Amino acid sequence: MVGFIIMSNHSAPPPGAATDWTIPQDWASYSAEEHATWDRLFARQAGMLPDRVVPAFIEGLDVLRMTRPGIPDFDELNDRLFRATGWQVVAVPGLVPDETFFDHLAHRRFVAGRFIRTPEQLDYLKEPDIFHDVFGHVPLLVHPAFADYMQAYGEGGLRAAKLGMIEALARLYWYTVEFGLIRDGGGGGLKLYGAGIVSSYGESLFALDDPSPNRIAFDLERVMRTRYRIDDYQQNYFVIDSFEDLLRQTRDADLGPVYERLRGHQPIDAGALMPADRVLHAGTQARAEARARV
Ligand code: HBI
Ligand code: FE
């Protein structure tokens, strides 16, 4: 689980970073122990994901040759990624200001932490590291509709910043890019695609198998109103039909009227169900209740 908070803005890049907050990856300076941490995390996820994750994720790992051992070298990764969809990965020291983040996405650049968690932190960290950012996020950037969605999200973020609606956009990111589920082609089953899930062993099991969380069909306004938790597994997962459909519902939506309606509504608590929801699974919320008691 990666429990990072939305950082506030207008801070200057740290020494050594460019004005757009990027830094060199400096691949040659990773230690043998750091490469071994990547390999451990990779082996654990690769062993359980194949029948849980959306097939496009596995195809992305393959196209990008990410199945080779060791922390990926961004120069090599970018050769393949750029040829596939015109995206690039750039290294940053940690969380960057919202508008910097949106501007990179709008230009098809995905920002990734260059550091990797320590062996003592395999399951929880506060800021996204290279395993979360690169293993979790980058494979799907090979999928054309998902690649376009990420760019559209960055463009939408820049507009939302001017309208004071970043919180609504952050919820959209959270419940799609980080914690999204997708319908499994023909069958009635669900698959994972959110990076916060696929980079977490525990949540990869919980999100699909546990009776606690709600699983609700994706609806843009509903998602933009829904609070989320950063300290534990999610209480709601929202399910898209396809990446093409997600792109249609967001890029082609006129967000002006959506934002007007959002201003007139209260946010929805994490874990709550609403009358208009298309509920695929009504969660017991047992995990959230057990956590609230301690
Ligand atoms: N910075 N490095 C990094 N990674 C993120 O995911 C990120 C960020 N800054 C801001 C941000 N995300 C949020 O604005 C979005 O989640 C909406
Ligand atoms: Fe992330």
Domain ranges (residues) in the chain: 27-293
Query: Which distant-in-sequence residues (6+ apart) come within 8 Å of 198 by Cβ?
Result: 45, 49, 53, 57, 135, 136, 192, 204
- In the three-class reduction of DSSP (H, G, I as helix; E, B as strand; rest coil), residue 51 is classed as coil
Query: Which distant-in-sequence residues (6+ apart) come within 8 Å of 128 by Cβ?
Result: 2, 4, 94, 95, 112, 113
The pocket around ligand 1, CB under 6 angstroms, is made up of: 6, 92, 95-96, 98, 101, 111, 128, 169-170, 173
Residue 227 tokens, joined: 């609070």
Cα of 293 from ligand 1 centre, angstroms: 31
Residue 281 labelled as part of a binding site:
no
ipTM of the complex, rounded to two decimals: 0.96
Query: Quick check: is 31 catalytic?
Result: no
Q: Which residues of 209-230 are buried (b: 16+ CB within 10 A; e: fewer)?
A: ebebbbbbebbbbbbbbbeebe
Q: For the chain, report the end-to-end CA distance as a whole number of angstroms.
A: 20
- In the three-class reduction of DSSP (H, G, I as helix; E, B as strand; rest coil), residue 49 is classed as coil
Q: CATH number of the domain at 27-293, please?
A: 1.10.800.10
Q: Print pLDDT tens along the chain (294 aa).
A: 455 545 555 689 999 999 999 999 999 999 999 999 999 999 999 999 999 999 999 999 999 999 999 999 999 999 999 999 999 999 999 999 999 999 999 999 999 999 999 999 998 788 899 999 999 999 999 999 999 999 999 999 999 999 999 999 999 999 999 999 999 876 679 999 999 999 999 999 999 999 999 999 999 999 999 999 998 999 999 999 999 999 999 887 788 899 999 999 999 999 999 999 999 999 999 999 999 887
Q: What is the pTM of this model?
A: 0.95
Number of H helices, E strands in the chain: 13, 7
Q: In this structure, which residue's CA is closest to atom 5 in ligand 1? A: 95
